[in-house]
């Protein structure tokens, strides 16, 4: 009979068989998937695993600290924390095509992992928290012609030549199953219940060119939005909620002065597996409260819009 406990044992045996006595580097993104993959692999091969958390400067507010303290504090899993904001942001300067952004980020992640692997005397495998929907959506549109919708960085965004082989123990799982496996492995429920966050981070929530200034503006808006969602008790009813920063400036009025600032888009969806999604039906009062707070508290934004597009035809992320 199928159970998550049995699945865990099976995966541990699979990882041991694949890896042998090899060394594994696991890239932590700050999200649930890579954390579950890391804990599972650690259980399978212990000291042969080194976790690397690459801070690309495209994280949300306080996210880096949370991941580092979870791994160093809660588990005794060795964690290398790489500060790579400058590397990523300088490489993204002047890049505005969504696939070019994704490809650059995927390639740069691998370069950082390979550099870290060298420092520990070489690694044979790179572990990732790739899920089944990531695999499908990077390969083709279900039922249609073979068209890449977007290159999820932990699949299609990888460079063709890479020195390490991939270990992807979650490749057969959907999100809800990964969460169940996370609970089975003893991860804190609040961590396991976090909304998904994409590997390329805020870069794909800033259509067009990314800059540190735009990331800082977006982080402030996103924090307010999520704070209001939590205060309203809605966090767990929503699959994913986030703010995007549009590369459009519009005219507004603040006090008796003219403003000319960016537009912030709000997204919130319900979903089972991220493959299809419905718009979360916030009340008008809730949306006005968030819009008012963002415009009042975030310098650089003077207009807020709510994205009312389901998936399909929209995707969840804007790029
Ligand atoms: P889309 O935008 O394709 O997103 O409807 C579906 C789900 O996948 C997440 N997503 C990613 N996750 N690397 C990831 O690890 C990626 O490159 C990536 N792109 C999208 C997205 O946040 C949503 O949960």
Ligand 1: distance of its center to the CA of 277 in Å?
A: 12
Res 253: pLDDT? 97
> Is 31 one of the annotated binding-site residues?
yes
Residue ranges of the alpha helices (H) in 211-252? 212-231
Alpha carbon distance 187, 169 (integer Å): 17
> Taking CB atoms and a 6 Å cutoff, what residues make up the pocket around ligand 1?
137, 150, 152-154, 196, 198-200, 240, 274, 311, 315-317
The one-character DSSP state at 311 is: B
Interface predicted TM-score (ipTM): 0.99
Q: Which runs of E-coded beta strand occur in 57-176?
A: 79-83, 125-127, 165-167
Res 157: pLDDT? 59
Res 160: pLDDT? 64
Best residue for ligand 1 mutational test, from 60, 274, 312 (most atoms within 8 Å of Cβ)? 274
**10-residue stretch averages of pLDDT, the chain, 319 residues long:** 92 98 93 94 95 95 87 82 97 97 94 93 94 76 60 63 89 95 94 93 98 98 98 98 98 96 98 96 98 98 98 98
Res 151: pLDDT? 81
Q: Rounded to two decimals, what is the model's pTM? A: 0.92
In tens, the pLDDT along 174-204 reads 999 999 999 999 999 989 999 999 999 999 9
- Beta-carbon contacts of 170 under 8 Å, excluding residues fewer than 6 positions away, are 33, 36, 37, 129, 130, 131, 178, 181
* Residue owning the nearest CA to atom 6 of ligand 1: 274
Q: What are phi and psi of 53, to 5 degrees?
A: -105, 115
* Number of the ligand 1 atom closest to the C-alpha atom of 175: 24
* Number of the ligand 1 atom closest to the C-alpha atom of 314: 5
Alpha carbon distance 227, 225 (integer Å): 5
Best residue for ligand 1 mutational test, from 58, 105, 152 (most atoms within 8 Å of Cβ)? 152
Share of the chain above pLDDT 90, in %: 81
**Average predicted confidence (pLDDT) for the chain:** 92
> Is 106 one of the annotated binding-site residues?
no
Alpha carbon distance 230, 28 (integer Å): 25
CA distances from 214 to 1, 115, 197 (A): 51, 29, 18
């Amino acid at each position: 009979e199928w159970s998550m406990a049995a699945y865990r044992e099976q995966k541990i045996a699979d990882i041991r068989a694949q890896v042998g006595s090899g060394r594994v580097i696991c890239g932590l993104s700050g999200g649930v998937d890579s954390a579950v993959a890391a804990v599972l692999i650690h259980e399978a091969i212990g000291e042969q695993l080194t976790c690397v958390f690459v801070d690309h400067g495209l994280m949300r507010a306080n996210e880096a600290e949370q991941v580092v303290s979870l791994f160093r504090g809660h588990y005794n899993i060795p964690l290398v924390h790489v500060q790579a904001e400058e590397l990523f942001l300088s490489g993204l300067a002047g890049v505005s095509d969504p696939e070019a952004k994704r490809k650059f980020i995927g390639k740069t992640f691998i370069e950082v992992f390979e550099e870290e692997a060298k420092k520990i005397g070489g690694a044979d495998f790179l572990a990732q928290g790739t899920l089944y929907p990531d695999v499908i959506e990077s390969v083709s549109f279900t039922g249609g012609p073979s068209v890449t919708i977007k290159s999820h960085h932990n699949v299609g965004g990888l460079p063709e030549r890479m020195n390490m082989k991939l270990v992807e123990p979650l490749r057969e799982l959907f999100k809800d199953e990964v969460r169940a496996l996370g609970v089975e492995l003893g991860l804190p429920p609040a961590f396991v219940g976090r909304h998904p966050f994409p590997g390329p981070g805020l870069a794909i929530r800033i259509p067009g060119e990314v800059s540190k200034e735009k990331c800082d503006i977006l982080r402030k808006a996103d924090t307010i939005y999520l704070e209001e969602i939590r205060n309203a008790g809605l966090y767990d009813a929503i699959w994913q909620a986030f703010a995007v920063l549009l590369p459009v400036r519009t005219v507004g009025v603040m006090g008796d002065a003219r403003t000319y600032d960016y537009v912030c888009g709000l997204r919130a969806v319900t979903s089972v597996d991220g493959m299809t999604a419905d718009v979360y039906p916030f009340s008008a009062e809730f949306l006005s409260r968030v819009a008012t707070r963002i415009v009042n508290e975030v310098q650089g934004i003077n207009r807020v819009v709510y994205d009312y597009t389901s998936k399909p035809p929209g995707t969840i992320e804007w790029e």
